[in-house]
Structures are given as structure tokens and as C-alpha cells.
């Protein structure tokens, strides 16, 4: 058995038989999402530490793409493959050979400085030459293709796309036919999802080993199309001592929901104090309380102005009410309610008046149980973010982009380009778990673990959806989930609830109350 054969056996065994821990004492869970630096390191670890030849990894990548093309487009016979001079281009050249040997008509274009060809690119060009295959310098005019393959840059791009590269990508986008990107659409940052001047717009991105972070962040997520991940022999073992920095929950991770004992009572599932609502603003309290109960909380106590008594008692009679006069806060009532609670959720609809300021200050200074801060509480804190450091307990904050802008002083546009970095830096600086809400919400912990949520849909972009989320997170905390799990899994469950609601409501008709109903339906359907 030669070196390549032995390496192939090793790859097969690693990808089919082994599982590796992500943290001491735990089995591997969740999905890993990697950036360009991590992916490069894992590739290097595979070839240098585990002695798997690069050519073997490349051949497996080309074969994986070939098989996927045959599966998705079995009748396609005319292909355009556009390659750069790096290893992504080498993947494209290897794919060209496989397509040609299958009897397809292939036009292969190589662009870029030929002096910068990688060793792998040179090797694949030699192989093509030995087969008598020619390589073009530009896309032929007036030619139609069934499938157009982008193999120009891959995951390592960090500069703007200009010159012949930009011109070629624009031309590829204009051509009719199905469009496939290898590993990453050229022009999209694998780290941030940014469009680097211009980018290939794929119908399908076939990526290798692990999905890349930039595939899921705006605006890159609008360019990747369907994501298909293929295993080529770079396994979790290739992490060595450097684990990926970002993870995502999947369905099997719902096993981390708090367990429910059969011999129990309402007190067994936690007591949540919900400080929400102001005069003529009872809706936030109703939605949060309903979500908390639906997610499994045993007791929900709502601290709200007296004016909200009737709407709350009518809408959610299960909740316990403690009311105060909107003109003057009764500090003793608040103190008593805080002592009663296992977790406090504060901020939705409370306004930014004197009473709201006093509430937020009291919660931050005196709470001894986990606290979730949202909406108006965050707007008050934005006046002086240092007050977060006064807390003597674990904090979860749930800002949307506008609220995060007020908290950091950065523009919404800037935060959108640095979503993960913004959340991570804020979490570290203020020792909070930061749930930065966007199309794909980021959950950053103060100790360096980060999650990117992949559930949910744009129908959830509706008033009150954030109130539902805080209710779910608070409920999981009340049921004794740790803060990290409650925040990240709560966001994931919230998205799944919206996906369930979508089946009945559609995108346009979805309301926050439908998300609560979606939560109930999802939990029932999955017997959770």
C-alpha cells in the first residue's frame, strides 16, 4: 500500500468512525463555523501533522464537486470553469479533468498572474496538459453554458476585487446557466460576509470540511445560494489545540434543554420576574410572559404600572401581577419581587422616564440572580454603559442593531460589517453575554465562546418578536439552564418557533403572537 492509499484509508476512518471532544468532559456537539485563518490552519495541520498529501485532499474536493454537479444537474453537458492561480483554482482545474473524462464539453479559463501560481495549481495544469486539455485566458464571447463554476479565490480573499478579476466575475454573473462556487463565492469575505467590491452570485456553494462564517452573515449570505458541505478528509482531529471560535446549534442540541422531572410542581420550573410595560404599553409584558410560560417556566410575575392590570389579567391570567404607580415607584415592592425571583427580565416597554431609570439602577446594583436586559433598559444603560460593571450577577443583554449602536457609539452600518467582533468585544469589556440580534443573531459570552444562530426567517422581523425572545431566554434561566446555554439555545429555539409559525402564517402575515404559538407547536411536535 503506497502513501496515498494509506492516507485515503486514514481519511475514511477519521470521517466515519471517530468523534472528538469540544470541551473537557463533553461529547462533540453543535456545528462548527470557521474563518479563513482557521480553515487554512486545519488544512495545514492535516497535511503536515497527519501527513495527508495535499493532492489527495484536492482530488477528494474535485470528486465531491463532480458528484454534486452530477446529482443536481444530471443533464448538463456544457461547462465553464473559471480558475485563479491559487489552490482554489487548482480545485477547479482538477474538476475540469473529471468533467472532460466524463464526456462533457468544458471551457476552462485561468486568470491572474501566472508567476503567482501555487505548486498545486502548477501540478494540475501539468496533469491537464498531459491529457491534452487546453486552458483559455478569457471567457469566450457569445457562448452559452449549462453550468458556470467559480474557482477564482476561495476562502482566503481579504482585498477588494479589481481589474480583470472584477470584469470576469461580472461577466460570469451576466451569463445564463446555473452557477456554482467552490468553497466560497469569489469576492465574499469568509470572515465577515462583506462584498469586496464585487462578488460571484452562486446558486450553490459547495464548501469543504466546514461552513465558513461569512456564508451566514449579511450581505454574503445573499450570494452563496444553497450551501452543500463536503467532507474531504479535514476532520475535527485537525483542530489539534485550536478549536473554532464560532459554533451553531442544531436540532440534536435541543437535548440541552432543561430536564423536567415527573415528580414536580410549579416551583420546580423556576420563578421569573418580568419587569415590563408602561402606561399604554402592556403588549411587551404580555408577549414576554406568554413566551416564558410556553417555554416551560413554572411561575411568571409581572412588575408593571397599575394601568396595565386589566389587559394583563385578561390576556394572560396565569401571570402573577405586582403593580406600581407610574408616577412614583414603590421601591419596597420592587425589592420584594426581586428577592422572590430566580431570574429577572427587565426592559421591554418600560420607557425611559424617572421610574424606569430607578428600576434599571436598582436591578443592576441589587440583583443576586441572573438578569436579562432588553429594549428600554438598554437605552437607559446607553447613557452610561459603565453601570453594567456595577452588577453582582450574570447579565444577558439582547440589543438589536439600533440599540447596539447606542451602546457602542458605532454606526449601524459599521456594526453590520463587524457583527461578531462587535458582540465579542462588548461581552468581554463589560462581562456580559451579548445577544446581538440580526438576521443571524450572534451570542457572545464573556469567556470567549461565540454562537451564530442559523434558525429563523424574515417573517420574524415584526414588532414584539424581541419580547418573545427575552421571555424564552428568561424561562430557560428560570429552569436552571446556565447563562450560556439559555442565551444561545434560547435564540435557536426562538428561530425554530418562527420557522414553525411560517408554515401557518407565511412571511408577511407573521406576528409576534404567532411566534409564541409556533413555540408551543414546535415543542409539542418534537415532544419537548
| The pLDDT value given to residue 294 | 98
Q: Decide if 311 contacts 342 (C-beta within 8 A).
A: no
Q: Decide if 191 contacts 159 (C-beta within 8 A).
A: no
Per residue in 98-133, pLDDT (tens digit) is: 999 999 999 999 999 999 999 999 999 999 999 999
Residue 4, in any domain of the structure:
no
Is residue 3's pLDDT more than 50?
Answer: no
328: left (phi over 0), alpha (psi -120 to 50) or beta: beta
Residues with Cβ within 8 Å of 36's Cβ and at least 6 positions away in sequence, in order, are 155, 156, 157, 158, 189, 190, 191, 212
The verdict on 162 and 301 lying in the same domain is no
**What is the helix, strand, coil percentage profile of the chain, to 5?**
45, 15, 35
Q: Decide if 43 contacts 118 (C-beta within 8 A).
A: no
| Closest listed residue to residue 144, CA positions, set 80, 100, 70, 93 | 80
The verdict on 229 and 324 lying in the same domain is no
| C-beta neighbour count of 240 within 10 angstroms | 11
Reading the block at residue 133, the C-alpha cell is: 486539455
Residue 24, in any domain of the structure:
no
Per residue in 500-519, pLDDT (tens digit) is: 999 999 999 999 999 999 99
Per residue in 130-183, pLDDT (tens digit) is: 999 999 999 999 999 999 999 999 998 999 999 999 999 999 999 999 999 999
For residue 344, the number of C-alpha atoms closer than 13 Å in the C-beta half-sphere is 30
Q: How confident is the model at residue 29 (pLDDT cuts 50, 70, 90)?
A: low
| The pLDDT value given to residue 482 | 97
Picking from 200, 235, 270, the residue at the C-terminal end of a domain is 235
| The pLDDT value given to residue 519 | 98
| Percent of the chain surpassing pLDDT 90 | 91
Q: Residue 166 maps to which CATH number?
A: 3.40.50.10260
Is residue 6's pLDDT more than 60?
Answer: no
Is residue 9's pLDDT more than 80?
Answer: no
Residue 73, in any domain of the structure:
yes
Is residue 265's pLDDT more than 80?
Answer: yes
Cα 343 to Cα 481: distance, rounded to the nearest angstrom = 11
The verdict on 256 and 371 lying in the same domain is yes
| Closest listed residue to residue 319, CA positions, set 349, 278, 281, 276 | 276
The verdict on 227 and 333 lying in the same domain is no
Find the mean pLDDT for residues 393-398.
Answer: 98
Cα 130 to Cα 413: distance, rounded to the nearest angstrom = 51
| The pLDDT value given to residue 25 | 42
| Closest listed residue to residue 83, CA positions, set 140, 137, 161, 147 | 137
Q: Residue 307 maps to which CATH number?
A: 3.40.1190.20
Cα 385 to Cα 403: distance, rounded to the nearest angstrom = 12
Q: How confident is the model at residue 280 (pLDDT cuts 50, 70, 90)?
A: confident
The verdict on 468 and 517 lying in the same domain is yes
The verdict on 214 and 280 lying in the same domain is no
Residue 35, in any domain of the structure:
yes
Q: Where are the beta strands (DSSP E) in 290-340?
A: 299-305, 320-324
Give, rounded to a whole angstrom, the gap between the first and last alpha carbons of the chain.
50
The verdict on 180 and 306 lying in the same domain is no
DSSP code for 48: I
Reading the block at residue 214, the C-alpha cell is: 461569512
Per residue in 252-263, pLDDT (tens digit) is: 999 999 999 898
Find the mean pLDDT for residues 185-190.
Answer: 98
Q: Decide if 248 contacts 451 (C-beta within 8 A).
A: yes
The verdict on 129 and 155 lying in the same domain is yes
Q: How many domains does the structure of the chain reveal?
A: 2
Per residue in 347-370, pLDDT (tens digit) is: 999 999 999 999 999 999 999 999
Residue 141, in any domain of the structure:
yes
Q: 3-class SS at 371?
A: strand
Is residue 520's pLDDT more than 50?
Answer: yes
Q: Decide if 398 contacts 360 (C-beta within 8 A).
A: no
- Give the mean pLDDT of the chain: 93
The verdict on 179 and 274 lying in the same domain is no
Q: 3-class SS at 62?
A: helix
Q: Decide if 302 contacts 319 (C-beta within 8 A).
A: yes
Domain range for 204 is 29-235
The verdict on 336 and 474 lying in the same domain is yes
| The pLDDT value given to residue 326 | 83
The gap from C-alpha 142 to its chain's centroid, in whole angstroms, comes to 41
Picking from 235, 259, 279, the residue at the C-terminal end of a domain is 235
The verdict on 371 and 402 lying in the same domain is yes
Cβ-based burial of 79 (10 A; exposed 0-12, middle 13-18, buried ≥19) = buried
Residue 71, in any domain of the structure:
yes
Cα 217 to Cα 202: distance, rounded to the nearest angstrom = 15
Judging by DSSP bridges, how do beta strands 271-275 and 299-305 pair with one another? Answer: parallel
Residue 423, in any domain of the structure:
yes
Find the mean pLDDT for residues 86-108.
Answer: 97
Residue 21, in any domain of the structure:
no
Per residue in 426-448, pLDDT (tens digit) is: 999 999 999 999 999 999 999 99
Q: How confident is the model at residue 23 (pLDDT cuts 50, 70, 90)?
A: very low
| Closest listed residue to residue 62, CA positions, set 168, 149, 145 | 149
| The pLDDT value given to residue 379 | 97
Provide the whole-model pTM.
0.92
Is omega for the bond preceding 55 within 30 degrees of 0, making it cis? Answer: no
The verdict on 463 and 411 lying in the same domain is yes
Picking from 235, 264, 298, the residue at the C-terminal end of a domain is 235
Which ranges of 341-383 does DSSP label H, i.e. alpha helix?
354-366, 376-381
| Closest listed residue to residue 305, CA positions, set 283, 271, 331, 282 | 282
| The pLDDT value given to residue 230 | 98
Amino acid at each position: 500500500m503506497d502513501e496515498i492509499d494509506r492516507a485515503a484509508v486514514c481519511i475514511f476512518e477519521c470521517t466515519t468512525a471517530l468523534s472528538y471532544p469540544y470541551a473537557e468532559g463533553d461529547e462533540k456537539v453543535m456545528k462548527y463555523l470557521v474563518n479563513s485563518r482557521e480553515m487554512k490552519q486545519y488544512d495545514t495541520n492535516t497535511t503536515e501533522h497527519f501527513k495527508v498529501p495535499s493532492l489527495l485532499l484536492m482530488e477528494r474536493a474535485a470528486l465531491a464537486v463532480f458528484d454534486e454537479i452530477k446529482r443536481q444537474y444530471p443533464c448538463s453537458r456544457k461547462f465553464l470553469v473559471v480558475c485563479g492561480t491559487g489552490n482554489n483554482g487548482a480545485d477547479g482545474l482538477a474538476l475540469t479533468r473529471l468533467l472532460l473524462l466524463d464526456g462533457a464539453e468544458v471551457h476552462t479559463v485561468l486568470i491572474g498572474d501566472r508567476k503567482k501560481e501555487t505548486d498545486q495549481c502548477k501540478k494540475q495544469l501539468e496533469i491537464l496538459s498531459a491529457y491534452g486539455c487546453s486552458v483559455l485566458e478569457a471567457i469566450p464571447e457569445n457562448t452559452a453554458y449549462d453550468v458556470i463554476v467559480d474557482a477564482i479565490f476561495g476562502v482566503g480573499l481579504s482585498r477588494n476585487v479589481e481589474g480583470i478579476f472584477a470584469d470576469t466575475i461580472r461577466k460570469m454573473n451576466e451569463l445564463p446557466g446555473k452557477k456554482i462556487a467552490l468553497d466560497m463565492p469569489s469576492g465574499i469575505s469568509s470572515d465577515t460576509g462583506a462584498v469586496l467590491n464585487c462578488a460571484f452570485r452562486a446558486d450553490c456553494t459547495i464548501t469543504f470540511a466546514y461552513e465558513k462564517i461569512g456564508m451566514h452573515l449579511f450581505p454574503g449570505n445573499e450570494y452563496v445560494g444553497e450551501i452543500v458541505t463536503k467532507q474531504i478528509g479535514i476532520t475535527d482531529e485537525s483542530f489539534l489545540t485550536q478549536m473554532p471560535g464560532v459554533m451553531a446549534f442544531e436540532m440534536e442540541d435541543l437535548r440541552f434543554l432543561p430536564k423536567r422531572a415527573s415528580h414536580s410542581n410549579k416551583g420546580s420550573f423556576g420563578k421569573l420576574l418580568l419587569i415590563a410595560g408602561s402606561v399604554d404599553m402592556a403588549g411587551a409584558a404580555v408577549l414576554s410572559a406568554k413566551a416564558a410560560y410556553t417555554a416551560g417556566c413554572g411561575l411568571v410575575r409581572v412588575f408593571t404600572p397599575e394601568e396595565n392590570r386589566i389587559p394583563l389579567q385578561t390576556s394572560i391570567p396565569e401571570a402573577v401581577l405586582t403593580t406600581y404607580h407610574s408616577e412614583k415607584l414603590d421601591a419596597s415592592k420592587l425589592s420584594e419581587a426581586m428577592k422572590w425571583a430566580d431570574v429577572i427580565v427587565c426592559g421591554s416597554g418600560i420607557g425611559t422616564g424617572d421610574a424606569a431609570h430607578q428600576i434599571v439602577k436598582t436591578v443592576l446594583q441589587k440583583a443576586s440572580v441572573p438578569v436579562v436586559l432588553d429594549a428600554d433598559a438598554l437605552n437607559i444603560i446607553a447613557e452610561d454603559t459603565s453601570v453594567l460593571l456595577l452588577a453582582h450577577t450574570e447579565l444577558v443583554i439582547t440589543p438589536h442593531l439600533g440599540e447596539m449602536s447606542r451602546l457602542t457609539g458605532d454606526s449601524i452600518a459599521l456594526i453590520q460589517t463587524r457583527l461578531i467582533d462587535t458582540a465579542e468585544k462588548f461581552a468581554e469589556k463589560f462581562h456580559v453575554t451579548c445577544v446581538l440580534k440580526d438576521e443571524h443573531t450572534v451570542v457572545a459570552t464573556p469567556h470567549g465562546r461565540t454562537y451564530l444562530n442559523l434558525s429563523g426567517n424574515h417573517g420574524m422581523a415584526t414588532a414584539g418578536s424581541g419580547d418573545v425572545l427575552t421571555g424564552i431566554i428568561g424561562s430557560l434561566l428560570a429552569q436552571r439552564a446556565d447563562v450560556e446555554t439559555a442565551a444561545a439555545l434560547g435564540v435557536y429555539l426562538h428561530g425554530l418557533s418562527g420557522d414553525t409559525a411560517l408554515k401557518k402564517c407565511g412571511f408577511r402575515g407573521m406576528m409576534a403572537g404567532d411566534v409564541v404559538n409556533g413555540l408551543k407547536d414546535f415543542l409539542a411536535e418534537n415532544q419537548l
